[in-house]
Amino acid sequence: MVASVTRTPTQTQGGLRGFLNKGGFWRLLLVVAVYFAIYLPTGKVVARLADRSYSDDDLLSSLGSVFVQLTAALIVGSIVLFAFTTFMGWNAEIFGRQPIYRSRWMWIAPVIVLVPITLRVLAIDWGGPALSVVLLVLATGALIGFSEELLYRGIAVKMLRSSGQREWSVAAISSVLFGLSHGLNIFSGEPAGPVAYTVLYTVAFGVLMYLSMRVIGFIAAAMILHGLTDPTTLLSTGGLPGKVDTTGFNGLLALTSGFTLFLLVPVGYILAFFIRGKVGERKGANAEATV
């Protein structure tokens, strides 16, 4: 069933709202660039103002380490993004039901994402970090899910749809931008190899998040799945990539890594080729098997 279509700007709209409501890749790129121009320096400012030990310590060593290294910048980023969508009047559209039909095969996406989450939960040493640290990591994960999904499955998808893009293009462009944004980690000193893998993984994960949002019908589904992925990864591995001692990883983590590398990532790229449809287009218009 096709829900209400994505709204387009009226002829009387002008200024910033009118400009951005036209959507399209280049306007989206401008929004993403402005966001990162605010978000990235925030982490550096917080690190300078805080006790330096919090920036240098292992992530899970204390509440301060988690807050300084991750949480503070995410709070600012989430506020900035939500303020932007509120200013633009996009919240009802972004957080409402998806305005396009779904297909049975799309259920592969949330299911395949839940598998490594479950394995990581089982692999976590729950007697390790303090309970307060665990709770803050979980809250931080929720912020990651909220902010990144709001930017890439919310704002990006909305702006690409507004310019008339078909859904395969919407999913591909938003996921590639999502992946490339994680390539910025190389400027924080991470080795090129792990960063390259992270980008490849994140593009595939972005496709799976798009499909999860579309098949379940709400962006909240992608936010929840994403918000569970990152904190379970941090808690099961012991911290941020590049700062974790991988010696002694247990069998469940090895299984999770193998599942992610050999199944989740390839499936994400493969499913991207099956995405069809366009907002406002009737179900079955492109001979797609739908629910």
> 15-45: per-residue pLDDT in tens?
999 999 999 999 999 999 999 999 999 999 9
> Which pTM value belongs to this model?
0.90
* Tens of pLDDT, residues 217-266: 999 999 999 999 999 999 998 865 544 444 445 788 999 999 999 999 99
Question: Looking at residue 7, what DSSP letter applies?
Answer: P
What sign does the CA torsion over 130, 132, 138, 141 have?
A: negative
Can you give the C-alpha Rg of the chain in angstroms? 19
In a 13 Å sphere around the CA of 105, the CA atoms on its Cβ side amount to 12
Give dist(CA 9, CA 265) in Å, integer: 37
pLDDT recorded at residue 1: 43
Choose between 50 and 265: higher pLDDT.
Answer: 265
Percent of the chain with pLDDT over 90: 75
Cβ 123 vs Cβ 252: under 8 Å = yes
Percent of the chain with pLDDT over 70: 89
Cβ neighbours for 115, distance < 8 A, ≥ 6 positions apart: 259, 264
Amino acid 164 reads G
In a 13 Å sphere around the CA of 177, the CA atoms on its Cβ side amount to 27
Q: What is the mean pLDDT of residues 95-123?
A: 96
Q: Inform me whether the pLDDT recorded for 161 exceeds 50.
A: yes
Least confident of 138-152, 177-191, 247-261: 247-261
Cβ 26 vs Cβ 160: under 8 Å = no
What CA dihedral angle connects 160, 165, 171 and 176, to 10 degrees? Answer: -70
Give dist(CA 119, CA 249) in Å, integer: 13
Across the chain, what does the average pLDDT equal?
A: 90
Structure tokens at 131: 């309970």
Q: Inform me whether the pLDDT recorded for 51 exceeds 70.
A: yes
